[in-house]
Chains A and B, each alone.
Chain A
Amino acid sequence: MQKREKAGSAASWSGQELRGMFTTATSWLEKSAPDIDALNVFPVPDGDCGTNMLLTMRSAVEESYHASDRNASAVAQAMARGALMGARGNSGVILSQIFRGLARGLEGRKSFSGHDFAASLTEGAMLAYKALTRPVEGTILTVAREASFAAQSACAQSEDLLSIMEATVKAARDSVANTPTLLPVLRQAGVVDAGGQGLYVVLEGALHYLKGEVEEMQYRRPQVVPSSIPLVSRIPAVIEKEEPYGYCTEFVLEGRKRLSLERIRKRLDNKGQSLIVVGDENLVHIHIHSFEPGKIINYATSLGTIHQIKVQNMDDQHKDYIEMTKAQAPPADIATVAVVPGEGLAQVFRSLGVTATIPGGQTMNPSTRELLQAVESVPQDRVIILPNNKNIIPTARQVPGLTSKKVEVVPTETIPQGVSALLSFNYDADLETNASMMREASSTVKTVEVTRAVRSTKIGDLKIKRKQAIGFVDGELTSVGDNPEEVLWDVLLGLDTEGSEVITIYYGKNTKRSKAEEIVDRVRQQYPLLEVELISGGQPHYHYIASVE
């Protein structure tokens, strides 16, 4: 598929393209459903949120093929109907409201623009809030609201659906990252919100379609958004609850007469938890966690016929979930705690199995207390600290004396050293052996850092003006130039790459990916035998951090 170039034409997206967006979103979500299941702790840790959202999406997409017409309005209506009929679980029902908003917003339209989409998304977020008697922040609702708000704001800059969606997806991502800040149960469990993550994946999938990346997606999979606050890895014991959950009861009610959502909601409000009543006067989807599902169903059948009935014992589901999280629990009995600047880098560290991350680095050194807290918060009683910065090593060295846990500090001075150390972690070895192997591994990597000078100075033969780009190799200043890319290039050219195999370049928060990609292409051409990898590090201050190993 070719990249779409529709920037100029405002209202040019068809119903088929709308369907394409969500078909792609569904296959993207499918890859991530098990990950999302594993995040599921709120409102009930039953571990089926991803699956529920996937089933809801599938139902929406399937129904879209039965649309009466191929125009945007008809497709959106069909998707909304499919989503409502197929909705499962809290997040599924909320998702169905977003489709309902889409259907409302696109009603009567043959095709739609970025503005139409943004407005419909906002409508959907609003409907989602309305569906719940007691909306909780830090969930899919928050993500829906903040994403749609970003979509609206992006409309001021552009009419183009692609750029609006880019802003939407980015906001959804940030919103997901923030969910543990808003909802304590997530923080305790050490996860971001599952439903929010699901919605983010759906929006990201739709964006992939718009960008014409359907082919590339086959080889990739959605990533779980890392939290914006430090979290320790999940411990199953924390979320084990004593009190029973009852039955998750769900069905679609087709009324004999006009149905009043308000009346149904009122009637069921004190009959259980997590009540959701959505739909219209003919068709209503009801979801509730109740100890007496029979009473709910009795009441519903007095109003009409019920369909797609699902009653599940949540205590059984919860047991399965506990098993599932146990299977995924970190196998190591030694924890690793790393100080990392920037969310991208934190994500890299987490993906490599670090137990906890502490934000910090150049000009933002964490205190002894913060390091100690992180060490105390992990479940393991043997801990390795990776300071990843020269100035943080002395602080880290205080920690072993302040805790009853056994703590080793591997004195990594840079991020690449920290990554190398973490990669050499041996799951079978003991604390001391691991610490010494990590120390050794961290010494085999060369670190390149490129930043801007904060003041004019002269170091050795190099004269530096304020704000000039400067490059370091393992902390030694080796290059000065006007732009960071030139300096990085210059530094890399000066390195002895004999025996090296992999160059990893982490570009910073204030560096454009396109610039970083250009330099990566140049490096690849210069060193055809080396593997060159580009990672979004998101670190402040440093335009580039690179490792050569």
Chain B
Amino acid sequence: MVKIVTDSASDIPAEVAEELGIAIVPLYVRFGSEVYRDRVDLSTEEFYRKLITSRTFPTTAAPGPGDFAEVYDKLAEETEEILSIHVSSKFTVIYEAALRGKEQMKRKCRVEVIDSLSGVMGLGLIVIAAAKEAQKGVNLDQVADVVREAIPKAHVYMCFDTLEYLRRGGRIGRGRALLGSALRVNPILDIKDGEAHPVGRPRSRAKAIEKLYEFARSFTNIRDLAIEHATTPDEAEALAQRLSSIFPRERIYISTVDPVVGAHVGPHVIGVALLER
């Protein structure tokens, strides 16, 4: 069976990854001189506590080619085909690292690396779709085709209470148009062609969440739907309840923004990701 690999910028809930046999290569997050592997050495809760209380701004690092080679080699013990799907190459060098990692492998195994041009659960939903396809027992090319078709159909809306984290991390892209507001606003960005784009900036959080709701509702052919949040599970749940009118509640994934992504989006982000049919 084709094995599916992604990175921890996909925000796939741990239990979903486990159930579908998705291998997640962790990114690194650093507070001062302490280095942690995303979700491995540092739990999500612990991370946000540190993000809010620590005086030092965390920095993040992509896994190296060696990390990928290690994961690929390990999987190669049980498979001949690996599909590695990663966060947009416009945000990080992970995609490059994965390509290098493939070259550094010791074992022989076919590995295909794909740039998802997305991130967070936009990437997550693509990866989940790939894993489900792989479970059907089809070959690598067939799974890769499904992924390439899914990429333009993945959409993400993220609502921020501040773009400061994104700016400091240098991932703001075209979203910089919404920076520096003298009024308190709730900027909303989407990910298009691998980059963050400005969508709008409602004055109140309630209006912003309303916008997320309307965004999801504007699609009639939703295949998968996810809500993600950093530290506000109640808000995410309330949104999921509202969205249950357009998509079965039990099929809506609720995921927590991973520490590495959290370092770039801040502790109060909430977002909706969906994959069209």
Contact = CB atoms under 8 A, between A and B. Distances in A.
Interface residues of B, number: 20
B259 interface: no
B180 A351 contact: yes
Contacts, number: 55
Interface string A321-346: 00000011011100000000000000
A504 B201 CA distance: 15
B200 interface: yes
A331 B198 contact: yes
A353 interface: yes
A126 interface: no
Contacts of A424: 200
A502 B204 contact: yes
A352 interface: yes
Contacts of B200: 423-424, 426
A348 B201 CA distance: 14
Contacts of B238: none
Given A423-B203, A549-B203, A535 B183 contact: yes
B174 A331 contact: yes
A533 B183 contact: yes
A330 B175 CA distance: 10
A531 B178 CA distance: 20
B177 A331 contact: yes
Interface in B163-207: 174, 176-178, 180-185, 197-204, 206-207
A351 B180 CA distance: 6
B277 to A, nearest CB: 23
Contacts of B183: 348, 351-352, 419, 423, 504, 533, 535
A91 B48 CA distance: 39
Contacts of A531: 184, 203-204
Contacts of B177: 330-332, 353, 427
Nearest to A35: B180
B191 to A, nearest CB: 13
Contact of B203 (A327, A347, A348, A502): A502
A320 interface: no
A533 B184 contact: yes
Interface string A525-549: 0000001010100000000000001
A328 B176 contact: yes
A348 B197 CA distance: 22
B163 to A, nearest CB: 12
B207 A501 contact: yes
Interface in A483-507: 501-502, 504
A428 interface: yes
A504 B181 CA distance: 14
A352 B179 CA distance: 8
B181 A352 contact: yes
Contacts of A428: 197
A352 B182 contact: yes
Contact of B201 (A327, A423, A501, A535): A423
Contacts of B198: 331, 427
Nearest to A332: B177
Greatest chain B CB density within 10 A among A332, A427, A535, A549 is at A427
Contacts of B180: 223, 351
A510 B177 CA distance: 32
A423 B185 contact: yes
Nearest to B207: A501
Contacts of B207: 501
A516 B207 CA distance: 27
B129 to A, nearest CB: 26
Interface string A418-433: 0100011011100000
Interface in B131-163: none
A28 to B, nearest CB: 16
A331 B198 CA distance: 10
A427 B197 CA distance: 8
A502 B203 CA distance: 7
A225 to B, nearest CB: 13
Given A330-B177, A351-B181, A535-B183, A501 B203 contact: yes
A331 B178 CA distance: 10
Greatest chain A CB density within 10 A among B177, B185, B197, B207 is at B177
Contacts of B204: 501-502, 531
Nearest to A536: B182
A331 B174 CA distance: 7
A223 B204 CA distance: 23
Contacts of A352: 181-183
B121 to A, nearest CB: 22
Interface in B205-245: 206-207
Contacts of A535: 182-183
A535 B185 CA distance: 13
Contacts of B201: 423
A332 B177 CA distance: 8
Contacts of B185: 423
A328 B180 CA distance: 12
Given A427-B174, A504-B203, 13 more contacts: A223-B180, A223-B182, A331-B174, A331-B177, A331-B198, A351-B180, A351-B182, A423-B183, A423-B203, A427-B197, A427-B198, A533-B183, A535-B183
Interface of A: 223, 327-328, 330-332, 347-348, 351-353, 419, 423-424, 426-428, 501-502, 504, 531, 533, 535, 549
16 contacts: A223-B180, A223-B182, A330-B177, A331-B174, A332-B177, A351-B181, A351-B182, A353-B177, A423-B185, A423-B200, A424-B200, A427-B198, A427-B199, A501-B204, A502-B203, A535-B183
Enumerate the 7 nearest inter-chain pairs by beta-carbon distance, A residue then B residue, closest first: A501-B204, A351-B182, A502-B203, A348-B182, A331-B174, A427-B198, A351-B180
